[in-house]
Amino acid sequence: MKSSPLPLLFTLFFTGLVGCQSTTTADTNQNVSAQLQQKALESSLAYDIVESLTVEVGPRLAGSEKDLIAVQWAENKLNSLGFDKVYKEAVKVPVWQRGEAKASIVSPFAQPLVITALGGSVGTPEEGINAPIVRFESLEALKLAEPSQVLGKIVFIDHITPRFKTGKGYSITVGGRSRGAIAAAEKGALAIVIRSIGTDHDRMAHTGMMRYQEGVEKIPAAAMSNPDADLIALMLKRDPNVILHLKLTPKNLGYATSYNVIAEVTGSSKPDEIVLIGAHLDSWDEGTGAIDDGAGVAIVTTAGHLISQLPQRPARTVRVVLYAAEELGLIGGKSYAKAHQHELDKHYIAAESDFGAGYIYQLDFNVADSAFAAIQAHTASMQANGVAMGNNQASGGPDVSMLPNHGVPVASLRQDGTDYFDYHHTPNDTLDKIDPKALAQNAAAYAQFAYLMAQSEIELRPLTSKTK
């Protein structure tokens, strides 16, 4: 007796039905992604948000009075935009006041210089420091120097930051800013002054955080404008005995409480699973924090808002995190990872916008190799917004860069940073540096990304590499 073909026919029918449903779901996701793109590109919301932040709050150094004003601004803004939940989480932050920064060449060619204190620096004696300059082309050259070359002098690291679309020049030179004071003090220097970590030719100094090391004397640290670094280099060619006067009056005032500000669009079927998109709320105190990182705040807030306005919420929760004290050492990001360690296994993916407002040109991931092709196909609709598919080596952005070590997949939406380091950490970081159209394209890309990730059925873990 032959077996009936009916079971096979039913199997084929249901397999075909499931396949059709999967295709239909994929098409729906891509259609919604396209709609989000159009909505974002037609909206001025992102620009309105960064305008509000820079005008109504302005510079917001973590631990300052303006920092808490920014936190309140963020809560009010997020609540006004219809998120399902808005809350804040306390973060302990150091309090540092910049004070005054003055420098001049005493001899052989007396001239004033444009400088700024590096974040966290100690001050000079009240009368300042007068000492010869010793020049090094890089931090590595300083480390190789004999202590006798440095003892009793002011170290000058003259490392020029090269310009790249990716911004990788910053990583080449930033070590001099962050670790130069340690290396100089170990060899007996009285202070350190670096060429600004910037790609501009403006007579404007770039600040940024520096570090000390326990057991090594703390010496004053400052950055000078690129034209002034050029000036000193030319003086040293004429006379190796250039005397610099340096006076800094910063103060470290202990600790204060700041906050990570968080908003959520609750998922419809997987509300306990999280797609995190973040930016940092704090800024340095010299500009108005427009590109660093008011733009990021506007981008991810707009993306979350657009998703909240969809007729049907995505499956997963979209969580917008505005981090505290990124500039002082990723403090808000580290605090978030610790506070949420119990649910990091529920974080589907994370990404951060913290590279200005240049057009997003590429989407990189850090997911399981087995998932990479599928997740690229799932985000293919973003190509219509000018976003090409990239590699599987993303870091995710500063405040989420520690999450892969906890197994959390991340993505990097790569922005054109060709001119980002012209303005980074200077008084020139102001609203006029933002192109509204480019900002809208960023908001569109983040809205598409967050929505598609919230809808994805692709298993992204385990990561091939936790530290990239």
pLDDT of residue 209: 98
Catalytic residue of the set 75, 264, 286, 326: 326
pLDDT of residue 1: 39
- Convert the pLDDT of each residue in 148-158 to its tens digit: 999 999 999 99
- Convert the pLDDT of each residue in 110-138 to its tens digit: 999 999 999 999 999 999 999 999 999 99
Is residue 362's pLDDT more than 60? yes
Q: What is the mean pLDDT of residues 207-219?
A: 98
Is residue 2's pLDDT more than 50? no
pLDDT of residue 21: 46
pLDDT of residue 27: 86
- Convert the pLDDT of each residue in 379-397 to its tens digit: 999 999 999 999 999 999 9
Q: What is the mean pLDDT of residues 165-183?
A: 97
Is residue 61's pLDDT more than 70? yes
Contact of 222 with 154, CB cutoff 8 Å: no
Per-residue pLDDT band for 144 (boundaries 50, 70, 90) equals very high
Q: What is the mean pLDDT of residues 162-178?
A: 97
Instruction: Answer whether the bond into residue 285 is a cis peptide, omega within 30°.
Output: no
Q: Where are the alpha helices (DSSP H) in 413-462?
A: 420-423, 436-455
Is residue 19's pLDDT more than 80? no
pLDDT of residue 22: 55
- Eight-state DSSP code of residue 209: B
Percent of the chain with pLDDT over 70: 94
Q: What is the mean pLDDT of residues 254-262?
A: 98
Q: What is the mean pLDDT of residues 366-370?
A: 98
- Convert the pLDDT of each residue in 20-45 to its tens digit: 445 667 789 999 999 999 999 999 99
Distance CA(383)–CA(389), nearest Å, equals 8
Structure-token pair, residue 353: 């916008």
- Convert the pLDDT of each residue in 228-255 to its tens digit: 999 999 999 999 999 999 999 999 999 9
Structure-token pair, residue 178: 């962050």
Is 65 known to be catalytic? no
